[in-house]
Structure 1
Amino acid sequence: MRSTGPAVVVIGLPGAGKSTVGRLLAEALGVEFRDTDHDVEAAAGTSISDIFLSEGEEAFRARERAAVVAALAEHPGVLALGGGAILDPVTQADLAGLRVVHLNVSLAAASPRVGLSAARPLLVGSPRKQWLELAEARKPIYRSLATISIDTDMLTPEQVVEQVLAELGERSA
């Protein structure tokens, strides 16, 4: 285990509950929460959707990579990564040795959570079809990076946190 870096990194598909569970987990551990999607938006001064529209996916991924590098170096608490951040091979390598929690979710459970709307630039067109394609491409990567994987479909965010804490051998702060 590394002595530096986040206490826990949370990964998963859109609608898995990374931000919600991440905040609750940080609270339970008595640490700060950080979300790289928010970091990207703050640095750009605009939404991720607008970055995709005005600059394209490649520019967004470069911004995302920079946010991930900074967060992994600076943040000692719970860190939620944007769903596609794990596509970067350097990010994959950077996560080695960290406690990585994969929140697994089905399309049926994710749909009401994310609304599968235009606010999700990779879900434009046929949102359900796009989400399933993202899942097919990303789930093997999530699984390979995870030290813990939790199926979130039938659980409340609080129950997910309880399971994560039990798996980590941690107690609430």
Structure 2
Amino acid sequence: MGAGKTTVAHLLADAWGVTARDTDHDIEATAGKPVSEIFVDDGEAVFRALEADAVAAALDTHDGVLALGGGAVLADVTQKNLADHTVVYLQVGLADAVKRVGLGSGRPLLLGNVRARIKQLLDERAPIYAAVATITVETDGRSAEDVAAEIIRLIEEPPA
């Protein structure tokens, strides 16, 4: 959350001449309502099921850059589906995440104390992100363009 996934995905897609796709947008199209309303109306379990299906479908049909929601990799099935793909973990620290997310309006997982909730999510998810990722890029204090340039370099010029 707040790492710049969608922005960086679009920059990468533009650089490589492919399309970018965001699974949160796919979920909204399927459900006919925003993610925040899915959480409120249907609950997180329904959202996570829709998310796992959206990621699986996107991995099967999309040949560009895919941006996943921050909780997508929590599902075992998604972790397995990502195993044969290049997965980039955009690592963001607490201070930068809070600055980028702001007060969390429209982010259902941030109800209450935004800073404490972001810290809790980062602490819970970071080990999973690191385990799933094939590449990790630090985003703190960096522009999306700089992050995208590093990803391009790491993918196109892997270490010897």
TM-score category, normalised to shorter length:
over 0.9
Structure 2 gap ranges (5+): none
Higher RCO (C-alpha 8 Å, min separation 6) = 1
- Which residue identity does 2:7 align to in structure 1? T
Is 1:107 aligned to 2:69, yes or no?
Answer: no
Identical residues among aligned pairs (%): 52
Is 1:53 aligned to 2:40, yes or no?
Answer: yes
Match of 1:95 among 69, 82, 89: 82
1:40 counterpart residue number: 27
Aligned pairs (5 A) from 1:108-147: 108-147=95-134
Question: Post-superposition shift, 1:92?
Answer: 0.3
* Aligned partner of residue 117 in structure 1, secondary structure: coil
- Per the normalisation by structure 2, the TM-score is 0.95
Task: Flag the structure with higher helix content.
Answer: 2
- Per the normalisation by structure 1, the TM-score is 0.88
- Which residue identity does 1:117 align to in structure 2? G
* Aligned partner of residue 72 in structure 1, secondary structure: helix
Q: Over aligned residues, Cα RMSD in angstroms? A: 1.0
- Which residue identity does 2:5 align to in structure 1? K
Structure 1 gap ranges (5+): 1-13
1:6 counterpart residue number: none
Q: Give the whole-Å Cα distance in 1 for the aligned partners of 2:34 and 2:152.
A: 32
Q: Give the whole-Å Cα distance in 2 for the aligned partners of 1:28 and 1:118.
A: 31
Deviation beyond 6 Å, 4+ runs, structure 1:
none
